[in-house]
Amino acid sequence: MEDKLHVVVNYAIMPLFAFANAGITLTGSSGASVGTVTFAVLLGLVLGKFVGIFLFTFLAVKSGLTALPEGVAWKQIAGVALLGGIGFTVALFIANLSFGATEPELLNQAKLGILLGTICAGILGYIVLRLTLPKSSAQDPDLLAR
């Protein structure tokens, strides 16, 4: 039974639980919860995390501090860097510290930006990795036919 519920729990119940506990209201006192803070947080999670992770990986490899693992390309590092934007819990914690009870409208905007940024980073990272990772033998019908 646990195996049969695995997909439902991971892709339906857990996201709904996270969304409900984030406390995001889709309309605020001014009528809309989308604002400057929403876009700033979204860009920070998607673009900022990507640039930071990719740039420091690039610098570490080019300086000789480390090397890319065998079989790993820079496109795959870019996909993993995009996945770094999935930072739901810590981002919510920082937003609560930043805005708290003193500015509930800005806190709501930040929470919406965190939700949208996490979703965008996850989808973009998935797409990049899906396009750049080699197909495994289990997914390749030609290899299975042999």
Tell me the per-residue pLDDT of 41-53, one tens digit each, with 9 for 90 and over: 999 999 999 999 9
Structure confidence at residue 140 as a pLDDT band (50, 70, 90): low
d(Cα 42, Cα 33) in Å, to the nearest integer? 14
Average pLDDT, the chain: 86
Q: Is the pLDDT of residue 23 over 50?
A: yes
Confidence of residue 79 (pLDDT cuts 50, 70, 90): very high
Q: Tell me which residue has tokens 């998607």.
A: 46
pLDDT of residue 136: 76
Please report the pLDDT score of residue 143 as a whole number. 47
Cβ atoms < 10 Å from Cβ of 66: 9
Select from 90, 110, 114 the least CA-distant residue to 100. 110
Give helix 104-132 / helix 88-99 axis angle, nearest 10°.
160
Flag whether pLDDT at 20 surpasses 90: no
* d(C-alpha 69, C-alpha 53), whole Å: 16
pLDDT score of 139: 56
If you average pLDDT over residues 111-125, what whole number do you get? 93
Q: Which of 124, 105, 83, 116 is nearest to 28 (CA)?
A: 105
Q: Which residue has the higher pLDDT, 100 or 36?
A: 36
**Residue count (the chain):** 146
Ramachandran region of residue 31, left (φ > 0), alpha (ψ -120 to 50) or beta?
left
CA pair distance 125, 15, nearest whole angstrom: 18
The pLDDT of residue 1:
83
* Rounded mean pLDDT, 89-111: 88
The total of other beta-carbon atoms located within 10 Å of residue 107's CB is: 22
